[in-house]
Amino acid sequence: MSTNLRKVIISSFGDPSTVSVVNGSIPAPSANEVQIRVLYAGMGGADIAMRQGVYPMQRNAPLTPGYSLIGRVHQNGSNSKQYKVGDLVACLTVYDAHAELCNQPEKHLVPVPEGLDLQQAVSLVLDWSTAYGMAYRAAKITTGKRVFIHCISGSVGFALLTFCKMQGAEVYGTASAANHAAIREAGASPFLYTDKNWMMAMKAIGGAHVVYDPLGFESFDDSWNILSKEGGHLVGFGGNYNSLNGGKPRGQPTQIVKLLAKGLVPFRPYKTSFYYIDRNQTTFRPELETLFGMLGKKSITVPIRKAWGLEDVPEAHRVWNKGPGVGSVVVKVAEDREIPKA
């Protein structure tokens, strides 16, 4: 039996005019699924890339975006027994979180401790989990390392700043001028991307031991050129250069291959890698649980740049990346309320 709901639809690939909020329906969860009443969903560059049709291996339009959510169990499939109706759960959905209800496989749900700030908590599911993996596994930041982060005021960038500072690194990065004061307050040294002064400044101090670059394409070449001659690691985690700079979107596979090829040249003290996050990775659940614990203990604080309502998601696409502010963007789908236990 299906249930009526409101949801975001990207009708076709293109500009923000393709995004709308519509009435729709959702079927009952299948045997191994759980239907979740969505409270908060994340919103980020992946959603923008999907709207443009350039996210790797994405679904065809029409589609409902929304890469992550936190919500309460609304209905269990016949074989789903782990959670009770009303339990608070998180999920890395990839799609379908920008809706009032969402069906997801039970095995991909992660319990959320009660009492957390849910705006901050939903940002951990994708943005901060991505940053945690890059800081603690992909490049293993240690005390004294010089780290350079592009888009340091963004959702993943600010999380990387936080974790790298916690590891004792010297942190630098690019951000819009309006966000420089906030970045300095957080303990990093900001630069404008466009004037390229960051390249000269980093070379003057010996280069960066690690560079995190979500821009891709030409930016990978510039980031490669600021690596320390002692040895450095360039970590790519996106291809947002054109999307963020008003250009025609470009697909990512070719530039990822180019990045990885740079690191295969023998007798050079440099390494490259491309980082991605997947809910099937064995590290995903334990690292997200660690982050929930850190948030509960107030070891970390997630700045929220903007919280949109579900009906305002089309406007969020229209003004994406405009205006000042640091941190994550989230979508508030519904007020939290107690659901009677089954």
Whether 161 and 268 map to the same domain: the answer is yes
Do 108 and 211 share a domain, yes or no? no
Residue 282 lies inside a defined structural domain of this protein:
no
Q: Do 103 and 73 contact (CB within 8 A), yes or no?
A: no
Residue 249 has pLDDT above 90, yes or no: no
Q: Which CATH number goes with the domain that contains 9?
A: 3.90.180.10
- Answer yes or no: do 19 and 83 share one domain: yes
Q: Is residue 287 in some structural domain?
A: no
Tens-digit pLDDT profile for residues 125-167: 999 999 999 999 999 899 999 999 999 999 999 999 999 999 9
Q: Output the pLDDT for position 184.
A: 98
Assign residue 208 a region: left if phi > 0, alpha if psi is -120 to 50, beta otherwise?
beta
Phi, psi of 216 (to 5 degrees): 75, -170
Q: What is the pLDDT of residue 118?
A: 98
The whole-angstrom separation of Cα 72 and Cα 320 is 28
Handedness of CA 275, 279, 283, 287 (dihedral sign): positive
259 shares a domain with 156: yes
Contact 263, 273 (CB under 8 A): yes
Structure-model confidence comparison of residues 82 and 322, the more confident one: 82
CA angle 301/303/304 to nearest 5° reads: 135
Give the pLDDT of residue 190: 98
Residues 313/314/318/320 CA torsion (nearest 10 deg): 20
- Cis peptide, bond prior to residue 27, ω within 30 of zero: no
Q: Provide mean pLDDT across the span 15-24.
A: 97
Q: Is the pLDDT of residue 247 over 70?
A: no
Domain count of the fold of the chain: 2
What pLDDT is stored for residue 56 in this prediction?
Answer: 83
Question: Quick one: pLDDT at residue 322?
Answer: 85
Phi, psi of 72 (to 5 degrees): -115, 140
Residues 104 and 134 in one domain: no
Residue 138's pLDDT is what?
Answer: 94
Host domain of residue 173: 127-274
Give yes or no: residues 256 and 218 share one domain.
yes
Report, in this order, helix, strand and coil percent for the chain, each rounded to 5.
30, 25, 40
Q: What is the CATH number of the domain that holds 150?
A: 3.40.50.720
Q: Decide if pLDDT at 263 tops 80.
A: no
- Is residue 259 in a domain? yes
Per-residue pLDDT of 57-78, as tens digits, reads 899 999 999 999 999 999 999 9
234 and 322 both lie in a single domain: no
Confidence of residue 240 (pLDDT cuts 50, 70, 90): low
Considering 95-99, 220-224, 268-272, the range whose residues carry the highest mean pLDDT is 95-99
- Distance of alpha carbon 169 from alpha carbon 139, whole angstroms: 12
Structure tokens at 231: 């040895």
Contacts of 185 (CB under 8 A, 6+ apart): none
Confidence (pLDDT) at 140: 84
Residue 284: inside a domain: no
Residue 203 domain-assigned? Answer: yes
Tens digit of each residue's pLDDT (9 = 90 or more) over 307-317: 999 999 999 99
Spatial separation of the C-alpha atoms in residues 226 and 75, rounded to whole Å: 52
The reply to whether 24 and 91 lie within a common domain is yes
| H-helix segments, the chain | 45-52, 118-123, 129-133, 155-166, 180-185, 197-204, 218-224, 241-244, 253-262, 284-296, 313-318
Residues 265 and 138 in one domain: yes
136/174 same-domain check: yes
Residues 24 and 83 in one domain: yes
Higher pLDDT pick, 244 / 292: 292
pLDDT band at 252 (very low <50, low <70, confident <90, very high): low
Q: Is residue 117 part of a domain?
A: no
Residues in the chain: 342
Q: Which of 10, 81, 16 is nearest to 316 (CA)?
A: 16
User: For a pLDDT cut of 70, what percent of the chain falls above it?
Assistant: 94
pLDDT band for 242, please (50, 70, 90 cuts).
low
Residue 243 falls within a domain, yes or no? yes
Q: Is residue 307 part of a domain?
A: yes
| Same-domain status, 146 and 263 | yes
